[in-house]
Chain A
Amino acid sequence: MTTTTTPATQPATTNRVSRDYEKPLWRRVLLTREMAIVALLVLVVAYAMLTVRGFAQPITLNYLLLDIAPILLIALPMTLVMITGEIDLSVGSMVGLASVVTGAGVHAGLPFELAAVLALLVGAIGGAFNGFLVTVVGLPSLAVTIGTLALFRGLAVGLLGTTAVTDFPEGWTALAKAKIAGTTIPYIMIPFLILLVIFVVVLHFTPFGRGIYAIGQSKDAARFSGVHLERTKFLLFMAAGLVAAFAGVFYTLRFGSARGDNATGLELQVIAAVVLGGVSVFGGRGQLYGVVAAVLLIGVLSSALRLANVTSDVINVITGTLLVVSVVSASLLAWLQKVRRRRSGPVSSVAAPTAS
Chain B
Amino acid sequence: MKFAHKRATAVAAAAVAAALALSGCADTGSSGGGSSEGGGSDNLSITFLPKSLGNPYFDTSSKGGKAAVEELGGTFAEVGPAESGPDAQVSYINTATQQGVGSLVVSANDPKAICDALNEARDAGVKVVTFDSDTNADCRDLFVNQATADGIAKVQVDLIAEQIGDAGEIAIVSSTANATNQNTWIDKMKELLAADHPNIQLVDVVYGDDDEQISFDKTAAVLQSHPNLKGIVSPTTIGISAAARYLSTSDYKGKVALTGLGTPNQMREYIEDGTVTAFALWNPEDLGYLSAYAAAALINGDITGKEGDTFKAGKLGEYTVGADATVLLGDPYVFDKDNIDDFDF
Contacts and interface: CB of A to CB of B under 8 A. Distances in A.
Interface of A: 2, 6, 20-21, 25, 28-30, 35, 38, 41-42, 45, 49, 53-61, 63, 67, 157, 161-162, 164, 166, 173, 177, 183-185, 200, 204-205, 251, 255-257, 259-265, 287, 289, 292-293, 296, 302-303, 306-307, 309, 311-313, 316
B91 interface: yes
Contact of A205 (B6, B29, B86, B91): B6
B28 A287 contact: no
A312 B82 CA distance: 6
A162 B178 CA distance: 6
Contacts of A161: 177
Contact of B95 (A41, A183, A262, A306): A306
Interface stretch (B63-71, B111-119, B237-245, B326-334): B111-119
B5 interface: yes
B218 to A, nearest CB: 15
Contacts of B94: 59, 63, 67
Given A53-B99, A57-B28, A259-B110, A306 B9 contact: no
Interface string B4-42: 111011101100110011011101110110110000000
A262 B87 contact: yes
B131 to A, nearest CB: 20
B91 A302 contact: yes
Please classify the interface of chain B as helix (H, G, I), strand (E, B), loop, or mixed, using the class held by over half of its residues: helix
Q: Which 10 A-B pairs have the closest CB atoms?
A: A289-B13, A162-B177, A58-B28, A255-B113, A63-B94, A257-B113, A54-B98, A166-B112, A306-B95, A312-B82
Given A303-B95, A312-B80, A25 B8 contact: yes
20 contacts: A6-B2, A25-B8, A45-B20, A55-B98, A56-B34, A57-B35, A58-B29, A58-B32, A157-B177, A162-B178, A204-B10, A205-B6, A251-B87, A257-B113, A259-B110, A289-B13, A306-B79, A307-B95, A312-B81, A316-B82
Contacts of A35: 12
A193 B284 CA distance: 47
Contact of A67 (B85, B91, B183): B91
A287 B95 CA distance: 31
B63 to A, nearest CB: 16
A25 B9 CA distance: 10
A237 B345 CA distance: 51
Contact of A61 (B16, B28, B95, B113): B28
B77 interface: yes
Interface of B: 1-6, 8-10, 12-13, 16-17, 20-21, 23-25, 27-29, 31-32, 34-35, 53-54, 77, 79-83, 85-87, 90-92, 94-95, 97-100, 110, 112-116, 176-178, 183
A164 B25 contact: no
Nearest to B29: A58
A97 B112 CA distance: 19
A164 B16 contact: no
B178 A28 contact: no
A42 B5 CA distance: 23
Contacts of A25: 4-5, 8
Contacts of A20: 5
Contacts of A38: 13, 16
B82 A313 contact: yes
B25 A257 contact: no
A213 B94 CA distance: 40
Contacts of B21: 185
B31 A56 contact: yes
B99 A307 contact: yes
Nearest to A26: B8
Contacts of A265: 83, 85
Given A54-B34, A257-B110, A164 B10 contact: no
A57 B31 contact: yes
B35 A54 contact: yes
A177 B77 CA distance: 28
A256 B112 contact: yes
Nearest to B52: A312
B185 to A, nearest CB: 14
